[in-house]
Structure 1
Amino acid sequence: MLRLYHLLIGSIVLVSIPLVGKFILPQFYPPTVVKSSAVAKLPNPNEGNIWQKILGNAAAPTNWQVAACKGNAPLLCVSSKGELLGTVEINIYPLAKNEDFQKKLLAAGIPTGSQVDYKSYKYQTHVLSALKAWVADDYAAFLKARQSEYGKQILFSAYPPQPVPVGKLQGIRYGFTGLNQQGGVQEQRIRYVAFGGSKVYVMTTGFAPGTQTGKFEKLENLAIFQPYLDAIAADLRLP
């Protein structure tokens, strides 16, 4: 009789457990928070890279990709099948902080602070004259630095400056190459420079083993990409 009574009590307890959990336990445990289906917008990893704003036609060889590099550095990444082949760097120099180029404009017949349309044909000759003076100084500084580094082991020579469009601006493409004593290429540089009234734009890439950015790892890849770089420069959306 006692055993039957115990069984009856046990059955009542088992039936009561779900009811206790339903009506009593919520008083001691906080309710489950249901997460919203809305996902917070992640910041664009390329947002600080100026190429995000100025890149127009991303011309590239077949199976190559051209896009702004991740991060804030002003670098354009050139890759193929997930492998980074090289980068193109752009630097922007405000005219207000560049007294040297102000003097070059003045020497070319454009007074500092003058309100002129630098895109007009009337002033293109003046701007090109100032840009050519920039190129000459750039090459002289480059040659001095390399002579200090290599001495007479590397022979450097400049490419003739060529007028080219940089966005809607008139610019110049120029560069230089360095050959070692065995006849191989030690270094090669390609640059574009343009002036837009308040800023000087300089775009650089090349083959330079000692340089961290704005270069290609292999000379042959630079040679393949060089013609496409003209198209990229011509379609830049410069402010």
Structure 2
Amino acid sequence: MTDTTQEARHVAIIMDGNGRWAKRKHLPRAMGHRKGVEAVRELVRSLKDTPIECLTLYAFSSENWKRPDEEVDDLMNLMRKFIKSDLPEFIANDVKLHILGDWRGLAPDIVEMLEDALEQTSKGSRTLAVALNYGAQAEIVQAARLAAEAGEITQESIEANLYSAGLPPLDLLIRTSGEVRLSNFLLWQCAYAEMIFTDVLWPDFTPAHLQDALDQFAGRERRFGGR
């Protein structure tokens, strides 16, 4: 029997489609990324009206370094501006920042900004987890290595060494833009997560789209390998 009362505590989103959004509107690719940041901002503001305890966003993968230098520089500058402009709002709205990935490999000034943001938001009750310089396969390899150094390799010891350690189990993964793949994102955490793939391009994704996904999740039957 379907449980229509279940709520998604942890939702992850692969934010895809910024470039296509800009291309369709005959705008520079950078404008798509900037519009995508606005979509992030509106979504974070809407969290207080949802049951979500943790929202995880795929912001920059370890493979994204292969993009043209100009595009990477624009993404990094957007990150700087977003942290600086939105940190006070995070604090005011009781949002805790959590970073997944090898974020200390980013530019020193960004690392310093992130360290400050992590410290200032550490008491927040609702979490925004951002994947930066992240790759799931590398995450699992690192977690297994750390588990082995500490003793026996088990499911529990690997999970304790993932970037997501301490976060609620992943309930729902959403990918925008019509692509239907995980792109090396949260491979371990997605083991029993529900998934929703939407054709909406990320800059057009709104809190209403998120609520629709939450409604879909509430109507699904989760078996976790059982009947």
TM-score, normalised relative to structure 1: 0.25
Q: Which has the higher strand share?
A: 1
Greater length-normalized contact order (CA 8 Å, ≥ 6 residues apart): 2
Q: Which has the higher helix share?
A: 2
TM-score, normalised relative to structure 2: 0.26
Mark the structure with the bigger radius of gyration: 1
